[in-house]
Chains A and B, each alone.
Chain A
Amino acid sequence: MTDDERSSARYLYAVCRRLDPAVLQGVPALGDAPLDVVVQHDLMAVVSTVSLAVFGEEALRRNLEDIAWLEETARVHDEVVRAVSRCAPTAPMRLATICFDDAVVRARLREWYVDLAHVLDRIEGCSEWSVKVLTAPTDQAIDDGAAPAVTNGADYLRRKKLLAERRSAHDSSVAEAAGRIHDALVLLARASRILPAQDPRLSGHRGTMVLNAAYLVPDQERAAFAALVEQLGTHDDRVVVDSRGPWPPYSFAMLEAR
């Protein structure tokens, strides 16, 4: 079949081990196609058939620029990865990994076997937890606090200086607090990654995001990790600790560059 005659391809969601394919039944995939498993040795790729009218190079380039399409596709991708990762050690694929057919999928699994096996060994028995530290919404208190009343220009400048000093001291103490929280959580995690702070326009958070981190937490440490997050969050009223999980181990399923 030539590329021009092709109308569909295989979309890869995740690579895993020891998955019972029955758990994929009823999990919605892209374009409402059924999910399938492509096996190569002990690796299993979770795939579904997608139309090249939507996922071909031209169409994909266009669609990726459409934030509504991107959100829908990213959510379906994530839901499939979650369903798999609840039942098996799972390495999520990056969005829009597409092969022409199952033979190509198997060839890729053979080619990357050692690296994929290494990733699966590393993440087995763990989940990813997202922890964000935000400044508490009571920040306004800095500005409203006992600052001298303004009656003349010199007072105004003094007041500005005082507020700037207070704010600067507050910011650095909040950053230190975030650092302490991270240092404590790392002890219960197998691995951690600091991610860039998110923009409130996309995440909807209030306050300043002073830490956006991902932790690879062994399942047996999950309760202790949750308890520690709770304790750290209530310990310091300058910050809000936002913990979410379990996530599939996206942030820890990266192949080494080669």
Chain B
Amino acid sequence: MSETAGRPLERVRDSTSLSRHGPEPASLADILERVLDKGIIIAGDIRVNLLDIELLTIKLRLLVVSVDKAEEMGIDWWRHDPMLTVGERGMEEENRQLRERVAELEGRGAEGEARHDG
């Protein structure tokens, strides 16, 4: 499945003459990034649940691209996975407490103004 592993990299790898009749098949990464991600999309009669396709694409993307690249591309489902986001949940709780505190202080300010105006 890999084209380059186990062989020294040449300065330029140009498989112009090879790929057509191919003793060397195209890499799985090259094929998948094209047949799954590119090409014409026309809705057929067999519709695989979109959510499933997205999950599949995400899994493949994580294979095709590295995790930091995935984040760059906006694939960040693990952020919403409760198993992986304990730290963030802690921050949410902190944010909630801060919002309450701000509301409380604003409420107090409004009361103060009201007293001042009255």
> Roughly how many angstroms separate A19 CA and B118 CA in the complex, as a whole number?
87
Q: Is B13 an interface residue (CB 8 A)?
A: yes
With an 8 Å Cβ cutoff, the count of chain B residues facing the other chain is 50
Within 8 A of B (CB), among A173-201: 195-199, 201
| Selected contact of A203 from candidates B2, B43, B44, CB within 8 Å | B2
A75-B25, A243-B12 given as contacts; is B42 within 8 A of A196 (CB)? no
Q: Which residues on B sit within 8 Å (CB–CB) of A163? A: none
A196, B44: Cβ atoms closer than 8 Å: no
Q: Which residues on A sit within 8 Å (CB–CB) of B30? A: 130, 198, 203, 244, 247
| Selected contact of B2 from candidates A95, A195, A204, A246, CB within 8 Å | A204
Residue of A nearest to B17 (CB): A226
A244, B45: Cβ atoms closer than 8 Å: no
Q: Is A255 an interface residue (CB 8 A)?
A: yes
Q: Is B63 an interface residue (CB 8 A)?
A: yes
B12, A94: Cβ atoms closer than 8 Å: no
> Roughly how many angstroms separate A121 CA and B24 CA in the complex, as a whole number?
31
A246, B19: Cβ atoms closer than 8 Å: yes
Q: Is B48 an interface residue (CB 8 A)?
A: yes
Encode A203-239 as 1/0 by CB contact (under 8 A) with B.
Answer: 1111100000000000000000010011001100100
Within 8 A of A (CB), among B63-101: 63-66, 69, 73
B9, A206: Cβ atoms closer than 8 Å: yes
Within 8 A of A (CB), among B1-55: 1-5, 9-16, 19-20, 25-36, 38-49, 52-53
B35, A229: Cβ atoms closer than 8 Å: no
A selection of 9 A-B contacts at a CB cut-off of 8 Å is: A56-B46, A61-B49, A65-B56, A92-B35, A97-B42, A99-B45, A108-B42, A195-B33, A244-B15
List the interface of chain A (C-beta within 8 A of B): 9, 12, 15, 52, 55-57, 60-61, 64-65, 70-71, 74-75, 77-78, 86, 91-100, 104, 108, 112, 116, 119, 130, 134, 136-137, 195-199, 201-207, 226, 229-230, 233-234, 237, 240-247, 250-251, 253-255
List the interface of chain B (C-beta within 8 A of A): 1-5, 9-16, 19-20, 25-36, 38-49, 52-53, 56, 61-66, 69, 73
